Chain A
């Protein structure tokens, strides 16, 4: 109990927390991210209606402008409705859930893959190192969105058509994850090369520990701090990548619309004057991506002043 308390107070007095308190931009963006995450997690409780419950939809409610009573039913929707009378606020909250879920899991996937490959390449050296790093070099030449699209396309080709929609989310996560692992691997490899020459690693080797144990228990904790920064920046990229793929129609299936899918739907109604179907999901996506980016910038400057 006392240990936990002293940890909290140590955190409260740290430079890290001090710089966090002193930066209003960071505070605001942290609040926005936290709010959006909470909305996504408690979507079932927060959202006024369940957008997937077809029975609750009333077609008469279609195209209700925000904050105005519907011409036929008189119902008021905070952010308006789409063509099928679906409450837009609920659709956004549930879309946020898909976007955040895909973004976070894709980053975790990329992180695990990149860190383990980087660690292995850095510790082993030799042909393992050359192979992994050349693969990274090749991949970095192509923009990640193209890689993600390509992997997605191949996976669609391999899967039987009946399973495509079911597995679309997992395929999406894997393709975004596979397209973002390079920065993790490069950074971790670089730090591992430095760390493995240090005395504590030699000592660990002397007492006869296996290389797997040295890598995971001794080197890994010492190379992790830049990984956090990269993970935050990659999260923004992954969210944008997911939205882009969904917008293009090759991402989240219509049964589980993400923010990108909602924007794609909204684009169709842009010309007929129903601007709210597009603008509100777009604003949510922008707020999310911008806040995560700002948090990432701040983390980078605080944790690693050299990179500035």
Chain B
């Protein structure tokens, strides 16, 4: 039963995580560079609303706007799915992709604002440092300075938080799946809570626990890929 429903949840979680990371990082960089710009201030203030809006409210409001008022996107279900082995995917059909848009935005928005605020704070910190001034003095273009030098140095804390947030995405998927009637494991869990179905609840928790461990492992491995100091074992040598 879980195996049958797991692909739906994982697809949703992955798409919204990627969405949150990409858009969040870009917006964070933008608001850090144009610190006092009008648009940047506007984005910052709306991000506060984004933090205060409960996930389910975002979903309901999106449904109201895009499904009921405008009628552009479907409001529930996964659309048509294609069976690839045991994995039923909604990513290959038009209706599947269309049904994915609203849930993914709903799920990703909170994480997006968090990542954006974090990237902004880190960027502001790093842009003050000497090596950025040297990079500018060397005549490097703004793009190289921002993306090559500054962004690279913000990534370690961002990856840490994003990894933890990926776990949160799996948990918040329960809410999103309920709002959009998405046939994933979260919906199954909430039904289990409602009908006091202890075996299903414990199976779900075991699954989520395993997912968290795997995610944390991946995050630790990513440190190695991003930060050469850790890769060379320099820290270890310094400590001994």
Interface set of A (CB-CB < 8 Å, partner B): 141-143, 145-146, 149-150, 152-153, 156-157, 236, 240, 243-244, 247-250, 260, 263, 267, 270-271, 273, 275, 278-279, 282, 285-286, 289-290, 293-294
Contact between chains at B52 and A248 (CB < 8 Å): no
Measured CB to CB, the nearest residue on chain B to A291 is B52
Contact between chains at A286 and B52 (CB < 8 Å): yes
Interface set of B (CB-CB < 8 Å, partner A): 48-49, 51-57, 60-61, 63-64, 68, 75, 167-168, 171-172, 174-175, 178-179, 189-190, 192-194, 196, 198, 201, 205, 208, 212
Q: Is the interface of B mostly helix, strand, loop or mixed?
A: helix
Q: Is the interface of A mostly helix, strand, loop or mixed?
A: helix
The one of A249, A286, A294 that contacts B194, using a Cβ cutoff of 8 Å: A249
The one of B54, B75, B190, B201 that contacts A240, using a Cβ cutoff of 8 Å: B54
Known pairs A153-B196, A263-B56, A267-B179 / 18 extra A-B pairs, C-beta < 8 Å = A142-B212, A145-B174, A146-B171, A149-B193, A153-B192, A157-B196, A243-B57, A244-B55, A244-B56, A247-B54, A247-B178, A250-B193, A271-B68, A273-B68, A285-B54, A286-B53, A293-B48, A294-B48
The one of B171, B178, B179, B205 that contacts A145, using a Cβ cutoff of 8 Å: B171
Contact between chains at A250 and B56 (CB < 8 Å): no
14 residue pairs of the A-B complex, CB under 8 angstroms, read: A141-B212, A145-B172, A146-B174, A149-B193, A150-B201, A153-B192, A153-B196, A157-B198, A249-B190, A249-B194, A263-B60, A273-B68, A279-B64, A286-B52
Distance, CA A280 to CA B101, complexed state (A): 26
Return the 7 tightest CB-CB contacts between A and B, nearest first.
Answer: A153-B193, A143-B171, A290-B52, A146-B171, A289-B52, A157-B196, A143-B168
Given A143-B167, A293-B52: A270 in contact with B64 (beta carbons within 8 A)? yes
Contact between chains at B60 and A248 (CB < 8 Å): no
Given the complex, which residues of A lie within 8 Å of B56, measured CB to CB?
243-244, 247-248, 260, 263
Measured CB to CB, the nearest residue on chain B to A140 is B164
Q: How far in angstroms is the closest Cβ of chain B from A254?
A: 13
